[in-house]
Structure 1
Amino acid sequence: MQESLVDRASALLERPGRAVLGITGAPGAGKSTLAAALLAALGPDVGHLPMDGFHLADVQLDRLGLRDRKGAPETFDVDGYVAALARLQSAPDRVLYVPGFERDLEQPIAAALAIPPSARLVLTEGNYLLLPTDGWERVRPLLAEVWFVEVDDDVRRERLVRRHEQFGKSPEAAREWVERSDEANAALVAATRDRADLVIGTEAAA
């Protein structure tokens, strides 16, 4: 990972209070990889609040008839995500427990992560941090900066196919899901690129 990215993230610690750095990009672009690298480089007092923890559980997706759109903006608890981000500022002296996402189960796990009061920088990554509609527009004002990660679309799609295969889909089902669902979501995210504070390629984040 480029040292300049670590330096830029570290500079957010110089701001008064607590800063939240958002990392966004299309599905498969490398958001989680960059977040993990930054967390490792910046040390234990940096918090982590991934948007994926706010996936609706499958039981709710079934109730809403949205299982085949899992990963789309409407399949997340955006109100819960915004509330968690807001609590980083409104209650900085309290531990904030937030959900994680278990990829083996493809389900959110309640209170899987804890953000301590000592965390003056918190990383959050997800597809829709810059989406301007449907409640997502409340996210950007809560973030100090948003970085947009991008990679060649063919590389990104192959990553997604391999990921879906790894978690149980057949090659045919994995490719169908990517082309039907993931790519529709990617188009929404791509339209938000110009709203980011920084655009970086995956090679810079490696």
Structure 2
Amino acid sequence: MSQLNTIQKALYLPFDRDSWSKLRNSVPLTLAEADLAELRGINERVSLDEVTDIYLPLSRLLNLIIKNQQQRSVVLNQFLGQQSAGSPYIISIAGSVAVGKSTTARILQALLSHWPEHPRVDLITTDGFLYPLDELKKRNLLDRKGFPESYDTKLLVDFISAIKSGEEEVDAPLYSHIIYDRMPEVLKVRQPDILILEGLNVLQTELDSPKRRFVSDFVDFSIYVDADEDNLRQWYVDRFLQFRESAFADPRSYFKHFADLSDEQATSMATEIWDSINGPNLTQNILPTRERAHLVLKKGAHHSMEQVLLRK
């Protein structure tokens, strides 16, 4: 088990993989290998064993917490003498580029939707809340894409606030990694039982404006997917190399000029992007939010989860 820093020791209960897996408590596995193949991201190696050892105990924990909150809402409504549909339970998933946040979010969505108490689980990524490409160019933020200032924070907070207040239908902007831009279409979110919000910035706060609301103010349970930066850099490079044969090869791709790069050229380009954009964003903005999470999932060199830290 990796060494905990002083803050983590004070805030979290640490579990190695074996001790965490015992907390599954016979929760059945509801995914098959074919299901998992559809949920994996590029360059991800999540196995059914990992789902069993890591995600099933987490699914059980979240179900217990959500049931408790649902019961509390019933009691509060009885006390106030009113009926209310209640508000969705919001789970956020944060972490670096290339750490596997999207795969974690998709697996949790699939598992949580099998619990009878909350069958409707929606998943939204914050990519759709990035400023449109033309606006990023106008603000000279193209090389800062993914940094806090590249997001339409007001739009994101308005969205999550409307979801939390129980509005019947809320529009979520969609994003295409092919065209590298927000899409004209929107996703209609209609009062889910649970909303999973995945993105780089979901644990960040507006430090320069403490009176301003931010996403984390509306989140009920937060998860941070963690890994050492050397691993993250390598995973990003590996993913970039694979993108040459998939996303970059699409004629609509914003990055189609990368499709013909040699291995050496692609590795050099990916490393440069990491060192100039993704690495600095991680150390300056993303990693400092880790200790705000209710739960940290720590990955080892081969993408597998090695440690779980649960907030006391």
Q: After TM superposition, is the score higher than 0.5?
A: yes
Picking from 127, 133, 146, the partner of 1:52 is 127
Task: Tell which deviates more after alignment, 99-108 or 121-130.
Answer: 99-108
| SS of match in other structure, 1:82 | helix
The question of 1:24 aligning with 2:97 is answered no
The structure number with the bigger radius of gyration is 2
Unaligned runs of 5+ in 1: none
Query: Which of the numbers 169, 178, 186 marks the counterpart of 2:282?
Result: 186
Judge conservation of contact 1:97–1:111 (CA < 8 Å) in 2.
no
Which position in structure 2 is the counterpart of 1:198? Answer: 295
1:12 deviates by 4.3
Q: Counterpart of 1:148?
A: 224
What corresponds to 1:157 in structure 2? 233
CA contact (8 A) 1:58 1:107 kept: yes
Is 1:176 matched with 2:280?
Answer: no
The number of residue pairs the alignment matches comes to 203
Cα distance between partner residues in 1 of 2:240 and 2:162: 33
Which digits, 9 at most, give the CA deviation of each residue in 1:129-177, with x for residues without a partner?
Answer: 2223256862111000111111232221122224444143451322211
Q: Equivalent residue for 2:64? A: 11
Instruction: State the alpha-carbon separation in 2 of the partners of residues 177 and 138 from structure 1.
Output: 28
Q: Distance in 2 between matches of 1:46 and 1:10?
A: 12
- Pairing 1:115–2:189 present: yes
1:128 equivalent to 2:201? Answer: yes
Q: Percent identity?
A: 25
Runs of 4 or more above 3 Å deviation: 134-137, 162-165, 167-170
| Equivalent position of 2:176 in the other structure | 102
Correspondence for 2:153 among 53, 58, 78: 78
C-alpha separation in 2, matches of 1:164 and 1:99: 25
The answer as to 2:138 corresponding to 1:138 is no
Quickly say closer, same or farther: Cα 1:13–1:110, change in 2 above 3 A. Answer: farther
- CA distance in 2 between counterparts of 1:50 and 1:86 reads 15
CA-based RMSD: 2.1
Deviations 1:90-148 (A, max 9, x none): 2x25122201221111112244423222x111000111222232568621110001111
Tell me if structure 1 keeps the 8 A contact 2:157–2:213: no
- Using CA pairs under 8 Å that are at least 6 residues apart, name the structure with larger relative contact order, 1 or 2: 1
User: Given the superposition, is the C-alpha separation of residues 12 and 99 from structure 1 closer, same or farther in structure 2, using an over 3 Å criterion?
Assistant: farther
Matched-pair contact (CA < 8 Å) for 2:96–2:200? yes
**What is the distance in 2 between the residues matched to 1:137 and 1:197?**
19
| CA displacement at 1:56 relative to structure 2 | 1.1
Unaligned runs of 5+ in 2: 1-50, 74-85, 114-118, 249-254, 307-312
Question: Would the aligned equivalents of 1:24 and 1:147 in 2 still touch at CA under 8 Å?
Answer: yes
| SS of the residue 2:155 aligns to | helix
- 2:136 pairs with 61, 80, 102, which one? 61
Instruction: Please give the alpha-carbon distance, in whole angstroms, between the structure 1 residues aligned to 2:169 and 2:64.
Output: 23
Distance 1:21 1:147 in 2: 8
